[in-house]
Amino acid sequence: MTSDRRFPVRLDLKKGAVDMSHGSGGRAMAQLIGELFQRYLDHELLTLGNDQALFMPPPGRMVMSIDGHVISPLFFPGGDIGSLAVHGTINDVAMSGARPLYLAAGFILEEGFPLGDLARIVESMAQAANAAGVPVVTGDTKVVERGKGDGVFITTTGIGVVPEGILISGDRAEPGDVILVSGSMGDHGVAILSKRENLGFETEIRSDSSALHELVAAMIAAVPDIHCLRDPTRGGLATTLNELAHQSGVGMQIREDAIPVRPEVAAACELLGLDPLYVANEGKLIAICPPDKAERLLDAMRAHPLGTESAIIGEVVEDPHRFVQMETDFGGSRIVDWLAGEQLPRIC
């Protein structure tokens, strides 16, 4: 990029750190935006330098979603907070069946945060947005004093447009419907835990963080009448199924032996006393559709690179209690409840 005469000394991305002036609205902030954010996120609407992005609304129904990202550690196997902020919001938009169009990103930076780390995060964000074909077109930066943030928080907003004839909503599950998942459960949460101080264990597991909108497009092309889609992020499969059951006023019956879980994830969960059904995912979805469309939907999911391990895991049933119940691997049965509190590693 061309040098800007306002800033004779370039930002020091090797040793420099965020300070309060970077959020002041003055020259230092302009330099941070110009030399760091716009360097990577170089969409024409963003580099124009306005406080908003101007575009023509496409025909059809639009959806909008917002997602705040706070994560420790910021960098983890399979991604970082930057790629996660893009994927998470694209997925929230896509779970309506929508084609995501644009993203907006708000950064809250803590005084003292290394500029080099920030550059890595923004570059990763740009790569994720480019790969997904969903650009970041407007943004915002604020700086808080040291001790009042945790390095960096990113809030992303996404908008998208829903194809005609598609009506996907969490309240549409009906008794008899079939429940599918797009792959193995718990990869993201275990990848994060493996890097937490104290817990340090060694595993090859990487976060499944990825943008699911193309998988969704392939799914609705095959089966337009999908009733529900949702990505089982925090709280994992168990909590998300409970949300859907509650929203639709139905029960669910799932089979433990049908739920894909990687052996490494199962082993790490044994070690920490966690249940993989409650561990977070960032690149998987749950789909609910009428029984006669389930096989076609499964085939479409498996044909997509992000859905090769898709599986049918159970059915929607009538139940005034709105319970999610599971037939265990062992041949017994039990309730799969909402996550209570936080999933903490336990000794007993």
Partner 1 sequence: MKYIDEFRDKGLARRLAETIAAEAHPGRDYRLMEFCGGHTHAIFRYGVQHLMPPNLSFIHGPGCPVCVLPMARIDHAIALATQHDVTLCTYGDLMRVPASERKSLLKAKADGADIRMIYSTQDVLRIARENPDRQVVFFAIGFETTTPPTAVAVKTARAEGLTNFSVFCNHVLTPSALQTILSTAGPDGVQLDGILGPSHVSTLIGSRPYRFVAEQFGVPVVIAGFEPLDVMQSALMLVRQLNDGRCEVENQYTRAVSEEGNRKAQALIDEVFRIRPEFEWRGLGFLPNSALALDDAYADLDAEERFPVEFAPAKEIKGCECPAILRGVKTPTDCKLFGNPCTPDNPMGSCMVSSEGACAAYWSYGRFRAASLQPKVESRS
Partner 2 sequence: MCLAIPARITSIDVAADTAKVALGSVGKEISLALIEDAAVGDYVLIHVGYALNKISEEEAQRTLEMIAQMGLLADEQELVPEPTSTVTGPGGQR
**Which residues of this protein are in contact with partner 2, per CB under 8 A?**
200-204, 263-264, 266-268, 270-271, 273, 346-348
Distance (Å, whole) CA 217 – CA 94: 9
* Closest by Cα among 284, 291, 299, 285 to 316: 291
Distance (Å, whole) CA 298 – CA 40: 37
Which residues neighbour 40 within 8 Å (Cβ) at sequence distance 6 or greater?
A: 119, 122, 123, 125, 126
Pick the closer one to partner 2 by CB: 13 or 267: 267
Report in angstroms how near the CB of residue 218 gets to partner 1 at its nearest.
35
Report in angstroms how near the CB of residue 337 gets to partner 1 at its nearest.
5
| SS3 state of residue 196 | coil
Distance (Å, whole) CA 208 – CA 305: 12
Pick the closer one to partner 2 by CB: 129 or 269: 269
Report in angstroms how near the CB of residue 197 gets to partner 1 at its nearest.
8
What are the structure tokens assigned to 175, written together?
């008794």
Pick the closer one to partner 2 by CB: 8 or 263: 263
Taking a C-beta distance cutoff of 8 angstroms, is the pair 293, 301 a contact?
no
Pick the closer one to partner 2 by CB: 55 or 201: 201
Report in angstroms how near the CB of residue 77 gets to partner 2 at its nearest.
13
Q: What angle do CA 78, 280, 334 make, to 5 degrees?
A: 145
Select the binding partner of residue 296 from partner 1, partner 2, none (C-beta < 5 to 8 A, by kind). none
Kindly report whether the peptide bond that precedes residue 73 is cis, defined as omega within 30 degrees of 0: yes
Residue for token pair 């337009």: 224
- Side-chain-side CA neighbours of 240 within 13 Å: the count stands at 27
Residue for token pair 């960096």: 152
Taking a C-beta distance cutoff of 8 angstroms, is the pair 279, 236 a contact?
yes
Report in angstroms how near the CB of residue 252 gets to partner 1 at its nearest.
12
What are the two backbone dihedrals, phi and then psi, of residue 286, each rounded to the nearest 5 degrees? -110, 135
Select the binding partner of residue 331 from partner 1, partner 2, none (C-beta < 5 to 8 A, by kind). partner 1
Pick the closer one to partner 1 by CB: 4 or 329: 329
Select the binding partner of residue 164 from partner 2, partner 1, none (C-beta < 5 to 8 A, by kind). none
Report in angstroms how near the CB of residue 251 gets to partner 1 at its nearest.
8
What are the structure tokens assigned to 114, written together?
């290394």
* Closest by Cα among 151, 144, 163, 96 to 120: 151
Q: Which positions from 321 through 340 interact with partner 1, judged by CB under 8 A? A: 321, 323, 325, 328-335, 337-338, 340
Select the binding partner of residue 276 from partner 2, partner 1, none (C-beta < 5 to 8 A, by kind). none
Distance (Å, whole) CA 249 – CA 244: 8
x/- site string to partner 1, residues 182 to 221, per CB under 8 A?
----------------xx----------------------
Pick the closer one to partner 1 by CB: 55 or 201: 201
Select the binding partner of residue 251 from partner 1, partner 2, none (C-beta < 5 to 8 A, by kind). partner 1
Q: Which positions from 235 through 294 interact with partner 1, judged by CB under 8 A? A: 251, 263, 266-267, 270, 272-273
Residue for token pair 């008899």: 176
Pick the closer one to partner 2 by CB: 9 or 348: 348
Which positions lie near partner 1, rule CB under 8 A?
Answer: 198-199, 251, 263, 266-267, 270, 272-273, 319, 321, 323, 325, 328-335, 337-338, 340-341, 344-348
